[in-house]
């Protein structure tokens, strides 16, 4: 397994995906709750009830465009509310007027990588 490599910092494993990959990001948080230091689902979604399995220590930033007609923004809003309900403090950034390509403004956020690389278990 790659994570057993001495060069891997197991306290700084991150997961990120967009669209279906955003859904996969949420899914991985539920399947492997103790693995990730941070997660960035972009224009994704999940059945919010599944997020009860997410680790309370994983840092999460959710991005979505409010005009997305491929993956409805309510998916990310519901995930955010579910995470807040179980005591997590996710960041939620919604882009007004943005369609499905919310990865463009997400990747252009001035603190995108800075925030990610600050996260550690």
Instruction: Give the pair of three-digit tokens for residue 101.
Output: 């390509």
The chain-wide mean pLDDT, for the chain, equals 95
Examine residue 64 and state whether it is found in any structural domain, yes or no: yes
Q: What is the pTM of this model?
A: 0.94
Examine residue 87 and state whether it is found in any structural domain, yes or no: yes
What's the distance, Cα to Cα, between the start and end of the chain in Å? 20
Examine residue 7 and state whether it is found in any structural domain, yes or no: no
CB-CB contact of 70 with 42 (8 Å) = no
- pLDDT at position 89: 93
The domain that holds 50 is classified in CATH as 3.40.50.1820
Low-confidence ranges of the chain (pLDDT < 50): none
Examine residue 9 and state whether it is found in any structural domain, yes or no: no
Report the domain count for the chain: 1
CB-CB contact of 30 with 54 (8 Å) = yes
Q: Which domain holds residue 43?
A: 18-118
Examine residue 4 and state whether it is found in any structural domain, yes or no: no
């Amino acid at each position: 397994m790659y994570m057993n490599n001495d060069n891997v910092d197991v306290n700084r494993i991150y997961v990120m995906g967009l669209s279906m990959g955003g859904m996969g990001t949420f899914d991985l948080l539920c399947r492997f709750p103790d693995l990730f230091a941070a997660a960035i689902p972009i224009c994704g979604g999940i059945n919010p009830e599944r997020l009860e399995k997410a680790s309370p220590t994983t840092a999460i930033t959710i991005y979505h465009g409010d005009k997305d007609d491929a993956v409805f923004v309510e998916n990310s809003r519901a995930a955010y509310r579910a995470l807040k309900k179980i005591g997590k403090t996710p960041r939620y950034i919604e882009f007004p007027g943005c369609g499905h390509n919310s990865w463009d403004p997400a990747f252009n956020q001035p603190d995108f990588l800075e925030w990610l690389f600050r996260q550690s278990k």
